[in-house]
Amino acid sequence: MTDSPALRSFIPPYILNRIIAHGSEPQRTAAMTTLHHVQGLLPNPGVPSRPPQRAILPPPGKPGVAQRSVHDAQNKMLLPGMPVRLEGQPATGDAAVNEAYDALGASYDFFWKVLGRDSIDNKGLPLVGSVHYGQGYENAFWNGAQMVFGDGDGEIFQRFTRSLDVVAHELAHGVTESAAGLIYANQSGALNESLSDVFGILTKQFVLGHTVEQADWLIGADLLTARINGRGLRSMSHPGTAYDDPLLGKDPQPDHMRKFVITQEDNGGVHINSGIPNRAFYLTARALGGFAWKKAGVIWYDALCDKRLSPDASFNAFARLTIEHAGKRFGAREVDAVRQGWAQTGVEITENV
């Protein structure tokens, strides 16, 4: 049994709650509207989620060729909105439209060229994105059918299409949903979020041609305005250090299992505890060196696609599969790097998957 399609949002509820508690009146209003929307669409275990609004899709294209359509929601909360740029059409005068179009293409190219995956479902599913969602909407999300991007309030967050890794992050939720259906709660939910961060950061590194050493390992580095004291929303290399700001508070992500956060909020801390597998991936990639997508990324993808990966998988279960696939795909050096990466984050490796 897999988790039913539902909203996977980039900005976690705890950040929106901070803005509601400490922001100006306009900031509070924007955050409250966003939070209420997120809470209304987040999955509730045991309760069927509402079906996502779907765009009318063209048939899949040839393998290796993306089929993109970008829509303008015109500051409403109705999807998909007006089609404004379809596959092969020239750039428009709207930066958000062009950024979404380019980032969807870059994400498709990464999955195809690096991992051999033909779109989200591996069957050439057309990629749909909607921009200008809501008014001052402070989030981006995957709703089970498409990517959706708000413009931010311009004071805390800039438009969400600015960040390639955010776009790739949201698309990767669709890949995880298709490949493994990881339940969006507790450790499996944190793995779900971490995998989106992994493939989001790898897409950015692939486009920029950055090695492990050159990369910033920051998720959402282009989102925060100059008013906020932060480098991004999450740091994969050093979870808990991405921001420390009077308005947003301090980045709460743990980097080790001894700091694992037990909470009922955020579906059991899916955005918080994802810091642990994020750092395990970073440590693995750093130990292997070079381009992170060539070995560490392939290993993580192989584990994601392994049919033995349970929808309610724990960190331990996923770690075991990554170690096994490191051996199948590569050799002893890679196995040791993966094993040490998990060990340094306190994930105990047992024989039972």
Structure tokens that stand for 317 in this block: 């279960």
Q: How far apart are CA 301 and CA 146, in angstroms?
A: 21
d(CA 29, CA 19): 9
Asked about 238 being catalytic, the answer comes back as no
Q: Which of 99, 138, 155, 170 is catalytic?
A: 170
- Rg of the chain (C-alpha set): 19
Catalytic residue among 37, 132, 169, 271: 271
| 146 contacts: CB under 8 Å, gap ≥ 6 | 52, 54, 55, 79, 80, 127, 128, 129, 130
Whether residue 174 contacts residue 120, with contact meaning beta carbons closer than 8 Å, is answered with yes
Cβ–Cβ < 8 Å for 147, 169: no
Half-sphere exposure of 98 (CA within 13 A, CB side): 6
Q: Is 265 a catalytic residue?
A: no
Give the single-character DSSP code of 271: T
The values of phi and psi at residue 318, to 5°, are: -70, -40
Asked whether the beta carbons of 247 and 256 are under 8 A apart, the reply is no
| Nearest-angstrom CA–CA distance, 250 and 245 | 6
Supply the residues annotated as catalytic.
170, 271
